[in-house]
Amino acid sequence: MRPRPGKSGAGAAGAGGLTSTARRIVRLNYGFQLLFNLLWWMPVFYAYQKAAGLSDTEIFGIQSIYYVAFCLFEVPTGLIADRIGTRNCLRAGAVVMTAANLAPVFSASYTGFLVHFLAIAAGRSLTSGAASAYLYDGLRAERCDGHYLKAEGTARALGLAAKVVCWPLVGPLMAVAHATPYLLSAASAAGSVACAVALPRLAGPGGGPAPAAARGDEGRRGGAFLRDAGTALRCVVTSPWLAMVMVQGVAVFTLSRICQVNLFQPILLDHGIAEASHGGVLAAMTVAEAVASARPQWLSGRLPPVAWVSVLSVLLAGTLAAMALGGPWVTVALLCLFAAATGFAYPVQRKLVNDAVPPHAPRATLLSVESIVDRAVCALAAVAAGAYLAAGRLDALLWHSALVTAVLLGVFQLLLRTGAVRRARYGPSSAAGPAAGNADLRTRAGEGRGGRGSASP
């Protein structure tokens, strides 16, 4: 029975088909993602560490340790999220991140920066799978799971937009107080703690600790974590579709990370673009990625999400290869196109993986497994990229990256089309294209107006 006009309960759907609880979840998620990831020190951390007396070997050595630590932390933190609840895990991660950003303020030394990055690895791994799992489960509990794609993309876009606004201020602020970037990062992380504390408890398993009945005797014997790990591995082994979706996402993560972190400056310098212009180019790329992240529904509904991720991955690879041929302005335009394709791909891929997780599976643990695979491949790619650059073969690196990506995605599509791997549809719109969800949004909003509506973005 629909509520009478002008009357709506706490669970009634509001504008856009979201219930009041769902709106609260989405808005707090926006705040958490923006503040947690707003690292003011990112544009200056290399120079900051050099000024503190660290050598290049020490700086890049810390980065290597950071990536290894991130991979090692991912599984236990994913297991923790599935045991104590994703909401509690987000709170813990935000507290750790706040402390991590204060470490260089108290100790601007090799040890201080090493502790800083190890704590960041712990904080980020605590939230990497838990944040997505909480949002997905929270919206599903409110029967608003169709809003997940847009909520994930908008959160990413807001975070990117905040970086565009804040990063240009870092230089002037450092002139006033040298440690300002780290103090502001700690303040932002503290704000994310407040957002995590305000998140509502979910009715389902994602909002709190696993019930005692679910833990059983294994939990009392200390075997609960191993049981969840085994469950996650069995899900991957027995769900070829989930495994293939995870593998497909590796191309997006690796190409975007290698280009935007490792190859960004070498590419610009190779085309004669001075360092003074790098900040402006990075800002333009961030704007392009933010706009695309906020509008994944712009993608045509003629292709399913899995096909869109493949198309966007090939576009990323092709854009990299084209940078070897273009001049300075063409390269800048291609970098912005690369960033936009990345923005479109991330929320679609994230929803694709969430939809492929079987019911009652440890979602946060499985998302952590995906993160480990992504970063492990990225670490290998970074080593290869360093070898290419040391040999002065940047153009060859760009071409070979495009070729390897095209071959791997061709194999993926062949397996899919021949039926060797079949789609498993656990989510509400696994086979629907991003834009197709707009029609679903209009239909369900019309059907459920005044009730607990569900809508696809």
pLDDT tens digits, 260-287: 776 776 787 788 876 556 666 777 888 8
**Given its phi and psi angles, is residue 177 left (phi above 0), alpha (psi -120 to 50 degrees) or beta?**
beta
Class of domain 224-440: mainly alpha
Q: What is the mean pLDDT of residues 138-166?
A: 83
Amino acid at 426: Y
Residue recorded with tokens 């979910």: 202
Q: Look at residue 451 and tell me whether its pLDDT is greater than 50.
A: no
Angle, CA of 96, 100 and 104, to the nearest 5°: 165
CB 283 within 8 A of CB 164: yes
**Percent of the chain residues past pLDDT 70, beyond the cut:** 77
How confident is the model over 29-84, as pLDDT tens digits? 999 999 999 988 877 776 788 788 887 677 767 777 887 788 788 767 666 766 77
Q: Look at residue 302 and tell me whether its pLDDT is greater than 90.
A: no
Query: Of 74-78, 137-141, 146-150, 219-223, where does the model show the most confidence?
Result: 137-141
Q: pTM for the whole thing?
A: 0.62
Q: Look at residue 14 and tell me whether its pLDDT is greater than 60.
A: no
How confident is the model at residue 36, as a pLDDT? 93
CA-based R_g, the chain, Å: 22
How confident is the model over 206-257, as pLDDT tens digits? 455 544 444 444 344 345 556 666 777 777 777 788 888 888 888 888 888 7
Ranges of each domain in the chain: 18-208, 224-440
Q: Same CATH topology for 18-208 and 224-440?
A: yes
Mean residue pLDDT of the chain comes to 76
In degrees to the nearest 10, what's the CA dihedral of 69, 74, 76, 80? 130
In angstroms, rounded to a whole number, what is the distance separating the alpha carbons of residues 180 and 199?
29
Tokens of 391: 């040999």
Q: What are the DSSP calls for 253-290, one per residue? A: HHHHHIIIIIIHHHHHHHTT--GGGHHHHHHHHHHHHH
Q: What is the mean pLDDT of residues 155-181?
A: 82
Tokens of 4: 């009478």
Class of domain 18-208: mainly alpha
